[in-house]
Chain A
Amino acid sequence: MTTVGANFVSTHYLANSQVGPVMQAQSQLTNLMTEMSTGEYANLGLQLGDQSGYELSLKEQVGLLQTMTSGNGLISTSLSTTQNALQAIQSSAQTTLQNLTTWMPGANSGASLQNMGQSALQSLISSTNATSGDQYVFGGINSAVAPMTDYSSTPASAAKTAIDEAFQTTFGVLPSDPAAANISASDMQSFLSGPFAALFQGASWSTDWSSASSVDTSAEIGPGQTVTTSTNANQPGFQQLAQAYAMLSEFGGSELSSDAQQAVATAAASLVSRGVDSMINLQAALGSTQSAVTDANNSMSSQLKILQDQIGNLDNVNATATAAQITSLTNQIQMAYELTSRLSQLNLAQYLPVA
């Protein structure tokens, strides 16, 4: 038995010394290969340890922001549709207002009032029933139902029936009755501002004219930023315009005296002009929502970039470093093979002359 000293190495250990390192290097090599091809750590959870939860919360925020951004796309579309419709309503109202200002009582002037009213009312109803996707943009939260009922349908719509009834109750005749010519301008005026106006407000409006909900849709356009994203057909502007157009179309072509017609035209002009103001206010309010959505999108996209950079820092592998590590591991393994083969040659018996 030889003395066991600090420098003593057993042959068994010498021969097997390279096995451990080679195995370790090979297992590292397979991990690195995976990382090289996927660009992510082979075992992310092991790599991050207790930072895994942080990584997940970052990914959760990214998901939330992406969802909000794509939701904002839909909101923008619907807001643009709403703006276009409001623009159409407003310009039709402007045209009507101009025509009304130049209108003079005379022969056949009643028919022109009626035409004005009918076409404007039709355009108001069709613009109010504008859709974005399969949603009626003026429906408030009740977006699955067309907000405005067709007025000139057959059989007569509830709105028309209600107007005829109100006229009959007040004057005892229908507008188309020749006896209606006896109605004075002041009587007409008080009818228009009294029983007739009441048909376009409150319960009568919701029953006869509008199916919209007065509750507007709202959405979270950015983290913690909830805004109203629509308007609805129960806004005063819609009521005023519908009222003006309805009185023109109902009482314009009727048997009314020219004084009474003049009263109708004056009342309608005032309503239309208030309606236009109201539409402009709605447009402004929605415009500010549109810009809020754009701002939210911008801020979210920069926030997304920061978050994604952060996630990348956590779970992305540096390709250059990995490639360098693979090269060095390959060298190491080759070196170990070389050493094993050399060590197996290192045997005193090899150097003894054959007896």
Chain B
Amino acid sequence: MASSVNTINSLLNQFTAANNAVVTGLQTGANVSSAEDTRDSIVTQLAQQLGVSTTVAANGSESIYTDSGVTLFQVTPRSVSFTPTATLVDGANGGAVIVDGVPITGPNSPMPIQSGALAGYAALRDTIAPEYQAQLDQIAGGLINAFAESDQSATPTLPSLPGLFTTPGAASLPSMTATTGLAAALEVNPNIDPSQGGNPTLLRDGGISDPGNPAYTYNTTGAASYAGRIQQLIGQISATQSFDPSAGLGSSSSLSDYANASVSWLQASNQQASDGSSYQNALVTQATSALSNATGVNLDAEMTNMLNLENSYASTAKLLTTVNSMFSALLQAA
């Protein structure tokens, strides 16, 4: 986004020079075609970065506005500013792009831009990526809750704790409404990971959360073929649990359905973007051909015109020669 903003600023400066050349040229009556061409080409490049519309004033000065109506250039360029954030922490919003004091991207923008590369970057950063992150965090939270261990005592008094999946230093189950950053912190419980000195049989027996506390042990006899806990875990993956509806995938679903829905959401967005892109491409091709036909020339037509001019020049010359020889004959006769 920062490089896009830099491009916009440098294009606006170039545009200032070209626009001034046009205005002064018109006042002094000089040929301004070349300066106008430069100006058009700069607007084209600018339009790749963000959607623009232009108007031309009576004195020939051209003004540029964003497609949302914020002034980018009117006699002088307006400042386009953006403060990049080096690393965005989970759930934080990046800075907005500000034109002439008005934010044109982000959720707080009164006049958000609709198209161009900058709008795409902003949509990805401010809308799509955070939503996908929220979904991943929800999946992580659902995973921890599905594999949670409950107090197995006859009269349970202790709270349920994270089992196979946990986050570093977690002392309780995560709340599904506050899962920000959970997916990044998710880890396999060190108590069960042999490479970290854990005991993998706890997966069968339970007690991953707190190996020292027998209250969380499901397989109290330590029997080798005890499958109750594992069957319970398998069931948990497809059991309905609640999710935060603000992640956009509903509030109640099984963990595996939720994860599948998230993939569907992402790929549907992918498909939509791709469809939109091919539609825009077709539009560009059409517009370019129309523009080229409107401003370009047909060499054959020009050549024909030139031949016509050549012929008329030749016949005029011939006529002159004839008149000249007629005069000479007349003068010699005298």
Contact B264 A52 (CB under 8 A): yes
**Known contacts A12-B296, A226-B231: does B285 contact A142 (CB below 8 Å)?**
no
Judge whether A220 and B221 touch: CB under 8 Å. no
A4 interface contact, C-beta 8 A: yes
Q: Which of A41-49, A165-173, A278-286 lies at the interface?
A: A41-49
Query: From residue 62 to 77 of chain B, which have CB atoms closer than 8 A to chain A?
Result: none
Known: A139-B225, A141-B224, A349-B303. A50 touches B265 (CB 8 A): yes
Residue of B nearest to A20 (CB): B285
User: Is B17 located at the chain interface by the 8 A CB criterion?
Assistant: no
Whether B256 contacts A60 by the Cβ 8 Å rule is: yes
Task: Decide if B225 touches A141 in the complex (CB within 8 Å).
Answer: yes
| Cα distance, A2 to B227, chains bound together (Å) | 87
Instruction: Say yes or no: is B299 at the interface (Cβ < 8 Å to chain A).
Output: yes
Q: A348 interface residue, CB < 8 Å from B?
A: yes
Chain A 32-62 near chain B by CB (<8 Å), digits 1 or 0: 0000000000000110111111101100100
Interface string of A1-35 (1 = CB under 8 A from B): 11010001111111011001000000000000000
Of residues 239 to 297 in B, which have CB atoms within 8 Å of A's CB atoms?
Answer: 256-257, 259-268, 270-272, 274, 285, 288-289, 292-297
Which A-chain residue is minimally distant from B293 (CB atoms)?
A10
| A253 contacts across to B, CB distance below 8 A | none
A56 to B231, CA, bound (A): 22
Residues of B within 8 A of A139 (CB): 224-225
Cβ–Cβ contact B225 & A220, under 8 A: no
Q: What is the number of residues of chain B that contact chain A, defined by CB distance less than 8 Å?
A: 42
Complex: A143 Cα to B226 Cα, angstroms: 9
Check A117 for interface membership: any CB of B closer than 8 A. no
Do residues B267 and A49 form an inter-chain contact, with CB atoms below 8 A? yes
User: Contacts A4-B293, A10-B292 known; A135 to B260 CB distance under 8 Å?
Assistant: no
What A residues does B297 contact at CB under 8 A? 1-2, 10-12
**Which residues from B are CB-within-8-Å of A140?**
223, 225
Contact B263 A52 (CB under 8 A): yes
In the bound complex, residues from chain A placing their C-beta under 8 Å from that of B225 are 135, 139-144, 217, 230
Contact A53 B223 (CB under 8 A): no
Scan B9-21; emit 1 where CB is below 8 A from any A CB, else 0. Answer: 0000000000000
A329 interfacial by beta-carbon distance below 8 Å: no
Q: Does A102 contact B (CB under 8 A)?
A: no
Judge whether B298 is part of the interface by a CB distance below 8 angstroms: yes
| A348 in contact with B303 given A2-B298, A10-B297, A141-B224 (CB within 8 Å) | yes
Q: Which residues of B contact A302 (CB under 8 A)?
A: none
- Chain A proximity of B136: nearest CB distance (Å): 15
B304 within 8 A of A: yes
Residue B301 is within 8 A (CB to CB) of chain A in the complex: yes
Are B227 and A217 in touch, CB under 8 angstroms? yes
Whether the Cβ atoms of B221 and A52 lie closer than 8 Å is no
Chain B nearest CB, measured from A221 CB (Å)? 12
Evaluate contact between A215 and B223: CB separation under 8 angstroms. Answer: yes
CB-CB under 8 A for A141 and B226, given A11-B297, A13-B289: yes
**A219 at interface by CB-CB < 8 Å:** yes
B26 CB contacts on chain A under 8 angstroms: none
Chain B contacts of A144 at CB under 8 A?
223-225
By a CB distance below 8 angstroms, the chain B residues around A352 are 303, 307
Q: Is the CB of B270 within 8 A of A143?
A: no
Q: How far is the CA of A218 from the CA of B232 in the complex (A)?
A: 12
B305 near A219: Cβ-Cβ < 8 Å: no
B193-227 residues with Cβ-Cβ distance < 8 A to A are 221, 223-227
A54 touches B264 (CB 8 A): yes
CB distance from B221 to the nearest CB of A (A): 7
Residue of A nearest to B307 (CB): A352
Chain A window 285-321, contacts with chain B (Cβ cutoff 8 Å), 1 for yes, 0 for no? 0000000000000000000000000000000000000
Chain A residues numbered 341-355 whose CB sits less than 8 Å from any CB in chain B: 347-349, 352
Complex CA distance for A244 and B10, rounded to whole angstroms: 102
Q: Is A261 part of the contact surface with B, judged by Cβ < 8 Å?
A: no
> Across the interface, do B299 and A348 meet the contact criterion of CB distance under 8 Å?
yes
Binding site for A on B (CB under 8 A): 221, 223-227, 231, 234, 256-257, 259-268, 270-272, 274, 285, 288-289, 292-305, 307
Q: List 15 A-B contacts (CB under 8 A).
A: A2-B297, A2-B305, A10-B293, A10-B298, A11-B299, A17-B289, A45-B270, A46-B267, A49-B268, A52-B260, A142-B221, A144-B224, A213-B221, A213-B223, A347-B300
Pairs of residues from A and B, 9 with the lowest C-beta to C-beta distance, nearest first: A10-B296, A53-B264, A144-B224, A53-B260, A49-B271, A50-B268, A141-B223, A52-B267, A13-B292
Please list the residues of chain A having a beta carbon within 8 angstroms of any beta carbon in chain B. Answer: 1-2, 4, 8-14, 16-17, 20, 45-46, 48-54, 56-57, 60, 135, 139-145, 213, 215, 217-220, 226, 230, 347-349, 352
Given A11-B298, A142-B224, output 18 extra A-B contacts at Cβ < 8 Å.
Answer: A1-B297, A9-B293, A10-B295, A10-B296, A11-B300, A12-B296, A13-B288, A13-B296, A45-B270, A46-B270, A49-B268, A49-B271, A54-B260, A57-B256, A60-B260, A141-B226, A220-B234, A230-B225
